[in-house]
Structure 1
Amino acid sequence: MTIHEIDKLTGQFYECICFKPEHYPKYDQLQELFYGDGKLINGNYDQPLEFTVQSYIQAIMHQIDDGNATFYSQQEISDVTEVFGKTAQRISVYEYSFTAENTAPWKRGVNYIQFILVSGEWKIVSMLWNDEKEELAIPEAYLV
């Protein structure tokens, strides 16, 4: 049952961050998925970009409000999840797009997500991600 609960929580996360021009992301639900302030770290740059859940929401909403972001879709395509007691870690391979057109292939990346079981409910503690690049391929072992 534990893996199923983590699968569901991960799916809810991806659902919350996606948006289209006709509706905002479900950021009102995002904080509920995290333990405490949460930590989200974008590893795509020379210096990591670090966010709490609230600062992440503010940064993306600023882009949306300024008209710099009108669509975003991200979905998990593969995962490896390990559980030990009340802690878990997931390697979540995702694909994403900034355009609604079904142009293939979507870009891909990897989220490393840490979870903790609190009062019988799994919560996300932190998330660290990196997008795939020409010089940085996703390991085959992650694509199971």
Structure 2
Amino acid sequence: MKRWTLAAVAIAIAVGGIYSAKAQMTAVVPAALATAAAAVAAPASKDQARAADVESVDGIVAALYDVISGAAGQPRDWDRMRSLFAPEGRLMAVGARPEGSYVLRSMSVEDYISRNSKAFATMGFFEREEARTTETFGQIVHVFSTYASRHAAGDAKPFQRGINSIQLYHDGKRWWIVNVLWRAEDEHLTLPERYLRSH
């Protein structure tokens, strides 16, 4: 962005030679900053988000769970998912390696879509929130969301549980997901009682 701004200033000075460099800086730099701010605030998708999805923390968390859930072969509304995330949003999973170390797999929204579309074509996946712990400060919110994953919506027992750590921010008009970081239960780590109830 810095390189682009300097180039824009140079072009403006060359075209409008009767003006001083200082005048051109005054005119061009704020416009460039406004363009940059608009780019950051713009949805990751050209499609507008549903108002109900992004007007509240409850709405955007519910939309996240809803958009990834469905029966085997059921198309997911990936444009809806894109509209929930800030352009720089990430999805990250913590997993154990066989030798006992842990690895972080980081994905963009597009990475998540491409990696899971094939699996969702042949496998039912329904994930729902079981409990939530929320911390809020101004325009930022951290949601510790306990999840349960099932292959069918009516399955009595989930095949997996864990925590989705969801970071959100509000731009004055709507909520955005910045990051989702998750860790599943395993034989060495079970969910403590405090994360099995909302508070």
| TM-score band w.r.t. shorter chain | 0.7 to 0.9
Report the residue type matching 2:87 in the other structure: G
CA shift, 1:48, in A, is 1.4
CA contact 1:116–1:124 (8 Å) conserved in 2: yes
The residue that corresponds to 1:100 in the other structure is 152
- Distance in 2 (alpha carbons) for counterparts of 1:42 and 1:30: 18
CA shift, 1:101, in A, is 7.3
- After TM superposition, list the pairs within 5 Å mapping 1:1-144 onto structure 2: 5-45=56-96, 46-64=102-120, 69-97=122-150, 99-100=151-152, 102-106=154-158, 107-144=160-197
Structure with bigger gyration radius: 2
CA shift, 1:37, in A, is 3.2
CA contact 2:60–2:175 (8 Å) conserved in 1: yes
Map Cα deviations across residues 87-126 of structure 1 (whole Å, 9 max, x no partner): 00000001001x2274432121100000010132111100
Q: Considering only aligned residues, what root-mean-square deviation do their CA atoms show, in Å?
A: 1.7
Same amino acid, percent of matched pairs? 27
Map Cα deviations across residues 5-63 of structure 1 (whole Å, 9 max, x no partner): 10111000000001213521221200100111311001123321110111100110133
**What SS class does the counterpart of residue 95 from structure 2 fall into?**
coil
CA contact 2:148–2:161 (8 Å) conserved in 1: yes
CA contact 1:87–1:116 (8 Å) conserved in 2: yes
Structure 1 residues 84-93 or 21-30, which shifts more? 21-30
Runs of 4+ in structure 1 over 4 Å off: none
Q: Structure 1: which 5+ residue stretches go unaligned?
A: none
**What SS class does the counterpart of residue 103 from structure 2 fall into?**
coil
Report the residue type matching 2:164 in the other structure: N
**What SS class does the counterpart of residue 60 from structure 1 fall into?**
helix
CA shift, 1:72, in A, is 0.3
More strand by share: 1
**What SS class does the counterpart of residue 44 from structure 1 fall into?**
strand
Map Cα deviations across residues 57-83 of structure 1 (whole Å, 9 max, x no partner): 011013345xxx421000001001111
More helix by share: 2
- Distance in 1 (alpha carbons) for counterparts of 2:103 and 2:188: 18
- Distance in 2 (alpha carbons) for counterparts of 1:62 and 1:37: 24
